[in-house]
Amino acid sequence: MTITQRRRSLAAALLTAAILLTGCSASNAGSAGSAAQPAAVQPADAQPAAADAPAEAAEIITGTIWLTASDPMAAARSATEAVVAAGGRIEDRDEYASADLTEARATLTARIPVAKIEDVREQLTSIGTVSRTQVTSEDVSTAQRDLEARASSLRTSVERYESWLAAAQTPSDLAELEESLSERQTRLETIESELRAMADKVAMSTITLVIGGDGHHDPTQPQTVGDALAVGWNGFAGFWLATLLNVSVALPWLVLIALAGAVVLVIMRRRRDRARAAEAAAAPTHTTPDLVAATTHTPPPTTSQQQGVRPADPGV
């Protein structure tokens, strides 16, 4: 290769490199321009959803209202009517009639619309005396938004899996997609159930109505000496009657216990008699020689007896 040919080859290589560099620069500039174009024409009102006005706070309101009335049972019926008229309902009812030493009382668990709580409380003042009111609120806005976001994500996932399931061809893909779809549907149903329960608690407050007596005269209490004596006699007779009834109930058991005790005593006595008889049979019955000698010893004869002389009679 001559020098001229070498110069021509080098010039061609340089020209090719320059053309390639020029093309890359142009393409980069075009890309930058196209990327910047949407930002320049982006509308001014296209703001993120988070910049919108905040949603209304979700609160769960619970409380207790203490009410006194001369007739707690009638007051409970009137309170129930007031709650139902306000669009609420009674979920639990616990009533006690008056007894000898206790007054009548009632406890109602009411679900009242949040906007109607004060109206119901005003109606309760016409039924009896509202002695105390306690209301608390719990903000569940964050928890509600979190559940709604999870539910929305699961709905999108369920729709995607349903489309994939419709396009699946092989049995293995169908089984895998159906299992995944069933799992997501179950989770979605659980979250939706929690959302419904939370929405119900937010919309309907839970108020407990405690209705008691007003402390007025109780007709069951004695007011005269005769009434007091009658109450005392009734209590005395009732005590012994209750005792007699209890003894009558326990009588069969007492008889059974007495019979068992008698059998135990007989067995113990027989064992004791057998033990004594065994001890008596084991004791020695013969007499020792020393003891016989001691019991049959006679005093020695006197001198006169030894000589055969009879002593003189002092009376002669």
3-state secondary structure 37-60: HHHHHCCCCCCCHHHCCCCCCCEE
pLDDT of residue 52: 47
Query: What is the H or E stretch that residue 307 is in?
Result: helix 303-307
pLDDT of residue 277: 85
> Among 45-49, 55-59, 95-99, 296-300, where is mean pLDDT lowest?
45-49
Q: What is the average per-residue pLDDT within 193-217?
A: 86
pLDDT of residue 197: 92
Mean pLDDT of the chain: 75
* pTM of this prediction exceeds 0.95: no
Nearest Cα neighbor of 155 from 191, 199, 179, 198 is: 191
Taking the C-alpha atoms of residue 10 and residue 35, their distance in angstroms, rounded to an integer, is: 38
153 has pLDDT over 90: yes
Q: Is pLDDT larger for residue 68 or for residue 221?
A: 68
Q: Is pLDDT larger for residue 300 or for residue 246?
A: 246
- Residue ranges covered by each domain of the chain: 59-141, 142-200
Q: Give the model's confidence band at 222: pLDDT under 50 very low, under 70 low, under 90 confident, else very high.
A: low
> Among 2-16, 115-129, 182-196, 272-286, where is mean pLDDT lowest?
2-16
- Percent of the chain at pLDDT above 90? 28
240 has pLDDT over 70: yes
CATH code for the part of the protein at 59-141 = 3.30.70
pLDDT of residue 23: 46
Helices 72-85 and 117-127 cross at an angle (nearest 10°) of 150
Nearest Cα neighbor of 66 from 7, 138, 125, 139 is: 125
Q: Give the model's confidence band at 241: pLDDT under 50 very low, under 70 low, under 90 confident, else very high.
A: confident
DSSP lists the bridge partners of residue 139 as 59
Query: What is the H or E stretch that residue 264 is in?
Result: helix 225-282
234 has pLDDT over 50: yes
**Cβ contacts of residue 127 below 8 Å, gap of 6+?**
67, 69, 75, 78, 79, 82
pLDDT of residue 30: 41
Kindly report, residue by residue over 50-100, the tens digit of the pLDDT: 444 445 678 899 999 999 988 888 999 999 999 999 999 999 988 887 765
pLDDT of residue 159: 92
